[in-house]
Copies of this chain bind each other. A is one copy, B any other.
Amino acid sequence: MGMLKNDQGILLVVSGPAGVGKGTLCRELMAQAGDLEYSVSVTTRAPRPKEQEGREYYFRSREEFERMIEGRELLEWAEFCGNYYGTPLFHVQKVLAEGRTILLEIDIQGAKQVKQVFPQGVFIFIAPPSFETLSERLHKRGTEPEEVIQKRLKTAEGELRQIQAYDYIVENDRIDLAVEKLRSIIIAEGCRVKNNLIV
């Protein structure tokens, strides 16, 4: 009945320094926004117990993954600890074609790759309220030795200077406020003239 139609879904790229809390924010956002789809990655690592093909990951062999790289079937990819991880284009395109929003949580290097292939995405940078907070969070995790943490903090400082490539910046001070901002960005982007057709 309405005169407007969202003809195309939105690719929401949520990125930021390690330890900034983007994982927590995205999980909370997914829990609150029912119509949001999560981008499922492809990996060459072996499935863990209870992991399901197409839910946690798409599991592929190295040969299959390398064929996807060559065929430009990945929005971005990287190698960690001997395994490939990447974002398959087919899943993103499928969700967008249905007019739905898809959420991609990714590190800064990955976001840079996505921006090259998919500049029409909405790029959100999650910022720590301060470097002290980021340092605290990285220490609290307790998973990394001090020198790795120091390196991460140095990286984060450099990354903060790259925010000009992003559309939005959301400070992760209080989770509820940050999630409200992310939800508002989704609603606002759905109202953008370029995302609407008059029918």
Report which A residues bind B (CB closer than 8 A).
1-4, 124-125, 127-131, 160, 163-164, 166-171, 173, 180-181, 183-185, 187-189, 191-193, 196, 198
Contacts and interface: CB of A to CB of B under 8 A. Distances in A.
Given A181-B188, A188-B181, A163 B3 contact: no
A162 B101 CA distance: 27
A163 B4 CA distance: 12
A7 B81 CA distance: 43
Oligomer copy total: 2
A156 to B, nearest CB: 11
Contacts of A2: 129-130, 171, 173
Contacts of A193: 125, 163-164, 166-169
B1 A163 contact: no
A81 to B, nearest CB: 32
B196 A187 contact: no
